[in-house]
Structure 1
Amino acid sequence: MLDKNTGAKSINQSAQAAFDDGDDVDLIQVLATLWRGKWTILLCAFALTVAGAIYAFGLAVPKYAASTTLALQARNQPVVDLESVLSGVSTDDAALKTELEVIKSRSLLEKLVAELDLLADPEFNATLRPEPAFSPRDSLFWLLGLVGLAPEPDAPPTAADILNQTVAELGEAITATNLHDTYVFEIGARTETPAKSAALTNTLARLYIEDQIALKFDATENAVSWLSDRSIALEQELREKENAVKEARSASGVISPEALQALNIQAKDVRDRMADMSLTQAALEVRAERLLALLADGTPAEIAAEVDDTVITRLWQDQTMEAGPLLERMRDRLRQIAARLQTDVERNRQQLAALELSHQRLQERFDAQSAEMVQLQQLERDAEATRVLYETVLTRLKETAVQRGLQQADSRVLSAATPGMQVAPRRSVILGLSFFLGALLGAGAILLRQMMHNGYRSAEDLEIGTGLPVLGEIPRLPIRARPMLLSYLKDKPTSAAAEAIRNLRTSVLLSNIDSPPQVIMSTSSLPGEGKTTQAIALAMNLSGLGKKVLLIEGDIRRRTFSKYFDARSEGGLLTALSGEAPLKELVSHDARVGADVLMGEKSSANAADVFSSEKFHSFISMARQAYDFIVLDTPPVLVVPDARVIGQSADAIIFSVHWDKTSKAQVQEALRQFSSVNLRVTGVVLAQVDPKRMARYYGYGSRYGTYSRYGRGYYEA
């Protein structure tokens, strides 16, 4: 009986480990995949190259490029005068970029449109182009019209619209660049004719130079006009200021600054005399006060000591006079001296008052004439400044007037354009790029197909994915109908398919050396995976060993054995289970297979219940006694539970997987269902392998299977 000790956990762990090993990208495998798809890649590359050639040589409109180079006259020094109206532009990056924008400005492009009459050229005036046979926009409007949502038709373009569109088209065809680290501009144009490209660049360069000259001329005329008006105004202003100076001189009493200086010196002398006289006046007043004090209560000795007078001195020296008369006579003399001193004080006071009045008048006169002098000097400075400005403007006016007609452009043509050379389409580039993109597309398709594939293509992948040994690889048999199977296997005993079945037989029999399997069950995930073919072929090979073999149709729901065999007995598997007839009467021996065949029967009871019954187990036990090998063809695992029930009585379970078709998820689910009832699948078989596709698309034919190209000398076709 089948070993039932291995559960679902071990199988799932093995499968998961196998998948984990394949997570890393193997560059060699990627390259091998691309190499296997080389014909697809070459086909895609060829197809896109042909499409690129059709576009480059037939559909693409040729474009011709021409260029005119201009040299810009640089000005390095800053502009501080009116010489900037002549020539030279700044050399900073912003100025160079500005010039490039001027070249492509709308004003120059409009002049170019008028100069070359581009409004009559369909290349730039879209309204002159013929209507295309197919327009997505018209198709959309037509579809919208079918549902009543068609928009209002566009109004016909105005002359301004046509001009704007033409200028925009021209702007797309014109380029202006500055050559690196130079003051050289390059004007380029791309059009559909060589002569037109050259005409555009040469004409635009000429218009640009003429525009520069016109700007210089306008600047000169504006400068002359402004300088003329300014010089007239300054001349009138100068006259008015000179007259104001004359009037100020006439009204002022000061002839010159020297006279004012003399007046200042005179006032200083008066101040000095006033200072001296003030000191004298103070001394006289002090002397007068002392004399009055002595006259009031002074003694003769005090009077004689302080008053320096000969009369008083003589009286004091006269020893004959008494004190009373001496004092009286001294006082009389002191009164005379005090009266004279008082007269001097009064006279000196009057002189000091006269000096103060004179100084005041001199100071007022000096202040008034100083203010007049300052005002006069201010008027003179204003007049002088106006005179200098007037002379400067007049000089510039004469210089600018002389420069009329001498203006030069800031740029000059270094090389005029010649008829343009074809630059588009770049046929070699298009062909090379088309080939590369085609190869890339083909490689992407190959890798995408490889990435999205979910089936098994090799025994190695199947073994890694299931964790089970691969017992064999069965190629797809070259038959058109099921009845041809037995004839093919009988007539081609040395074919690759027959050898593959023999390898399967050997693998099954050696799967358990100690106890070779006697009851062998063949099943799969889904219908059409080759399990029935595999069961019939395996029964034929086992009978070829001289063994007695029973082939049982366990798929009693579909009963497809009738398409392979001509059943001559009455009854089948259900009759055998019921015991209504002995087994030897129910089987039919097929000479082509060399084995007894027990056909299935239609049952009113559920098939799974039938195979779960004790009668089925007893029947298998009885068959074991009568036959050397029993081969069971069972229904698919994922469709009905019959295979899991029948497997309880089997010694070996062979699980078929359709090559490059059955998904990995389906295989894993089928194996999980076996594990859920504690059944261990003996091994898997990669069935219905297409050797040509394997070798052509996947490259496995040279590595796997006895049907590879190395077996051509051993196998029949």
Structure 2
Amino acid sequence: MHEPTADLRRIGGIIRRCLPLALAIGALFAVLAAIFVSVVKPQYQADVQILLDLQSNRLLTGSQSGESSQPSNLDDYVATQIAVVQSDLVARRVAKVLNLSVDPDTSNLVMDRASEKVDRLSNVTSTEIASMEVDPAVLNAIRAGLNVHQVEKSQVIEISIRQTDPAVAQAMAETFGRAYIDDQLSARYETTRNAGAWLEKRIETLREQSLQANSEVETYRAANNLVSTNGRLVSDQKLQQLNDQLTTARTAITRSAAKVSIVEGAVEAGDVETVIRAIATSADIPETAPIRSLRQDYLQATDRQRQMQPQAEGNSEQMVALQSEINRLSGLILDEARRILDGYRNDLRAAESEAASIEKLTNTATSQAQTDSSTLVTLRSLEQRSASYNALYQEYLARYQEAVQQQTLSFPEARVISRAEMPERAVFPNKKIIMALAIILGVGVGGAIGVARETFDETFRSRRDIDKYDLNFLGYVEETSALTKLFRKGGLAGASSLLGPAAQKLRNNKALSMMRMAFDIHLGTRGKVIGFVSLAPSSSRSALALAYAEKEALAGRRVLLLDADAHDPFLTAAIAPATTVSFIDILRGTKTIEQAVTPLDNKIHFLPLSQDVAFNDTLTNAASSLIKACRANYDIVVVDLPPAAPVSAARALAPSFDAFVCCVEWGTTQQQLLTSVLGASPVFRSKFIGVVITDVNTKKLASYDAATGDTTSWLGRFAKAQA
């Protein structure tokens, strides 16, 4: 689990490491920005605002009644007008009005002070403007300094002109506003003029077609005797009347037949009561008719009979006389009904005769109407054609009159609402903003480069890189000024003379002290075989092995220093460059240890390696026996091994060693190498006492590890584990 404080320290270290690069690149960008600001020519800006007044033409468009003249999409309309301002026609007007040209030396626009040309070109049409010769370089320069945009969400557009000459900028801005309005008026004038000319020709054609269509209608009507009143043919009106009369006659027949049927049935049955009811409901029999008085007398007689019947006897004289009266009245009523029936029958025959006559006339009229109707279809077609031509003629005539009116009374749909003022200050370059942006951008680029470098840095920089392998960190050894520079200054041949100064400088090195403490805790004080390995060819490893051997010799111990790096024998080249004896001779049996050893000061014996040799199984076994023999004769055997690898002499000789110290160069050795070595041999890993980071830049180390080599924490844990 990471400590939050440690993470903050790490972030702070990254910032400290990236800060110098970021500041350097920021300073470089600032210098470049200063050069740019001093070289580039200042530009001045003049602005003019135009209101798109869509209400100005309401009088001409006939929208006085309150109809909205706003476009359906205001944003699209404003964008269209902005495109018009940026068009080639408006730019040509400006170029001609101001007589603009391009200065061949500076490539800037210059103008002729001929402002009277404004009025002369205000009535020039767009077609004429387009045909005028204008230098393309002038148009490109005009468009390069032009910027048109909408003011927020309003109907106002702002035209901005940037030029190196403030007077040119002001004149161009003001002229652009007037040129846009002139272009609007010219476009509307050309449109209405062209429309009027076309409408005039079309109206003449429609007038002739309308007159010809009307003439064809009248000619056809006269040729086919199609006389009409109130919009209808006479034959149609006559047929309608006959149909009405036929309907009335058939209704009368039906009514008469019903009367005959009712009365005839009652007379044939001798039913006086039925006759009396028919008479009561009939409106055709007048009130003075005899049958109505007979009906009244009959009803009175029957009423008296009903009243007297309960009191009188059945054969009384009164009842007999009353019955005789009733019978007499019944006979009279039936006789009168027969007479009425004859009248009804005469009415029925008259109605039938009339209906037959009307039906005959109707058939004749229908035949005539059908003939007229077939002819009328053609007439209606001619009339519709004539009406269409008349309507088109009237519509085009109205449009022509409107076009003539707009041609004479045309108002622009825009007006200038702000004048272009003479600019006093340059808008570009803005020195403060450019310098600030350059510094910010430079610092950002430098920081990004630094962070990328930190992200992709897979070398050893601090003890944190060692701790993640669960290995002991022994400390830092400063840059080659104390070790490797001994070889670089005096050369390999003269490095032996610097052995004393090197030991003196490393006497108080914390890494060597921690190394001795670790070896004493882990191995004791006698018979220790210690191997110094690196992950890549390194003179620092050899120098550190030499310094450690002298450190132990100064402590009064017998030390054997053995150079086992067959490929790069730094120790042999530094201490015994002219020797021809090698510990390989001991392995092969041609020399003894006493014959091969080179005694040095301070109780150090050195076994050189004067030839490049590959360790096979025989040499490996012999080397193991040699190391075992040396263990008995010396307190400490220090072996400078070649670089460790999954397959190497260091791994082959690992069983013969008591401990290994791994030297990795600060900022050079890749961490992947240590991962490969540790994963290849568990035995090799188990004998790792710790790791030393060499060639450390002490000035930069604090930004990677604030503790700077504090190893007391792991020494305590190590001693406790050994106990």
Place the TM-score, normalised by the shorter chain, in its bin.
0.5 to 0.7
Unpaired stretches in structure 2, ≥5 consecutive residues = 111-130, 258-345, 712-723
Matches within 5 A, 1:678-689: 680-689=687-696
Which residue in the other structure is 2:439 paired with?
435
Per the TM alignment, residue 47 of structure 1 is displaced from its structure 2 partner at its CA by 0.3
TM-score by length of 1: 0.63
RMSD of the TM alignment (CA)? 5.9
Which residue in the other structure is 2:513 paired with?
503
Q: Is the 8 A contact 2:189 2:407 kept in 1?
A: yes
Which whole-Å CA distance do the structure 2 matches of 1:37 and 1:276 have between them? 118
Which whole-Å CA distance do the structure 1 matches of 2:646 and 2:385 have between them? 117
Which residue in the other structure is 1:637 paired with?
644
Which residue in the other structure is 1:451 paired with?
455
- Answering whether residue 210 of structure 2 is matched by residue 210 of structure 1, we say no
Q: Is the 8 A contact 1:501 1:541 kept in 2?
A: no
Which residue in the other structure is 1:36 paired with?
17
Which whole-Å CA distance do the structure 1 matches of 2:44 and 2:692 have between them? 67
Q: Is the 8 A contact 1:57 1:427 kept in 2?
A: no
Which residue in the other structure is 1:175 paired with?
147
Which whole-Å CA distance do the structure 2 matches of 1:381 and 1:568 have between them? 130
Pick closer, same or farther for the CA change 1:463–1:430 going to 2, 3 Å.
same
Q: Is the 8 A contact 1:529 1:657 kept in 2?
A: no
Per the TM alignment, residue 456 of structure 1 is displaced from its structure 2 partner at its CA by 0.9
Which residue in the other structure is 2:427 paired with?
423
Matches within 5 A, 1:354-369: 360=361
Q: Is the 8 A contact 1:198 1:419 kept in 2?
A: yes
Unpaired stretches in structure 1, ≥5 consecutive residues = 1-19, 129-158, 283-344, 707-717
Pick closer, same or farther for the CA change 1:530–1:414 going to 2, 3 Å.
same
- Larger RCO of the pair (alpha carbons < 8 Å, separation 6+): 1
Which whole-Å CA distance do the structure 1 matches of 2:220 and 2:652 have between them? 140
Q: Is the 8 A contact 2:572 2:608 kept in 1?
A: no
Amino acid paired to 1:542: E
Per the TM alignment, residue 51 of structure 1 is displaced from its structure 2 partner at its CA by 1.0
Pick closer, same or farther for the CA change 1:563–1:405 going to 2, 3 Å.
same
Per the TM alignment, residue 551 of structure 1 is displaced from its structure 2 partner at its CA by 2.6
- Answering whether residue 685 of structure 2 is matched by residue 704 of structure 1, we say no
Per the TM alignment, residue 46 of structure 1 is displaced from its structure 2 partner at its CA by 0.5
Aligned with residue 692 of structure 1, among 688, 692, 699? 699
| 3-state secondary structure, aligned to 2:509 | helix
Aligned with residue 53 of structure 2, among 68, 73, 77? 73
| 3-state secondary structure, aligned to 2:453 | helix
Aligned with residue 551 of structure 1, among 548, 557, 561? 561
Pick closer, same or farther for the CA change 1:512–1:383 going to 2, 3 Å.
closer
Which residue in the other structure is 1:63 paired with?
43
Matches within 5 A, 1:586-601: 587-591=597-601, 594-600=602-608
Amino acid paired to 2:551: N
Q: Is the 8 A contact 1:188 1:201 kept in 2?
A: yes
Which segment drifts farther, 102-111 or 640-649?
640-649
Per the TM alignment, residue 573 of structure 1 is displaced from its structure 2 partner at its CA by 3.5
Q: Is the 8 A contact 2:534 2:644 kept in 1?
A: yes
Which segment drifts farther, 232-241 or 88-97?
232-241
How much identity, in percent, do the aligned residues show?
Answer: 20
Which residue in the other structure is 2:84 paired with?
102
Pick closer, same or farther for the CA change 1:532–1:674 going to 2, 3 Å.
farther
TM-score by length of 2: 0.63
Pick closer, same or farther for the CA change 1:499–1:249 going to 2, 3 Å.
closer
Which whole-Å CA distance do the structure 1 matches of 2:532 and 2:251 have between them? 155
- Answering whether residue 417 of structure 2 is matched by residue 407 of structure 1, we say no
Pick closer, same or farther for the CA change 1:240–1:561 going to 2, 3 Å.
closer
Which residue in the other structure is 2:26 paired with?
45
Q: Is the 8 A contact 1:125 1:166 kept in 2?
A: no
Amino acid paired to 1:444: A
Pick closer, same or farther for the CA change 1:397–1:446 going to 2, 3 Å.
closer
Matches within 5 A, 1:185-584: 185-218=157-190, 221=193, 226=199, 230=203, 234=207, 360=361, 405-420=408-423, 422-465=426-469, 467-475=470-478, 476=480, 477=482, 479=486, 480-481=489-490, 490-491=500-501, 495=505, 498-500=508-510, 502-512=512-522, 518-555=528-565, 559-565=569-575, 573=583, 583=593
Q: Is the 8 A contact 1:126 1:166 kept in 2?
A: no
Which whole-Å CA distance do the structure 2 matches of 1:571 and 1:379 have between them? 134
User: How many residues are aligned here?
Assistant: 585
After superposition, what is the alpha-carbon deviation per residue over 1:566-606, rounded to whole angstroms, capped at 9, x for unaligned?
69999564566677777556544433xx0232332547986
Matches within 5 A, 1:70-149: 70-75=50-55, 90-93=70-73, 94-118=76-100, 120=102
Per the TM alignment, residue 539 of structure 1 is displaced from its structure 2 partner at its CA by 1.8
Pick closer, same or farther for the CA change 1:582–1:401 going to 2, 3 Å.
closer
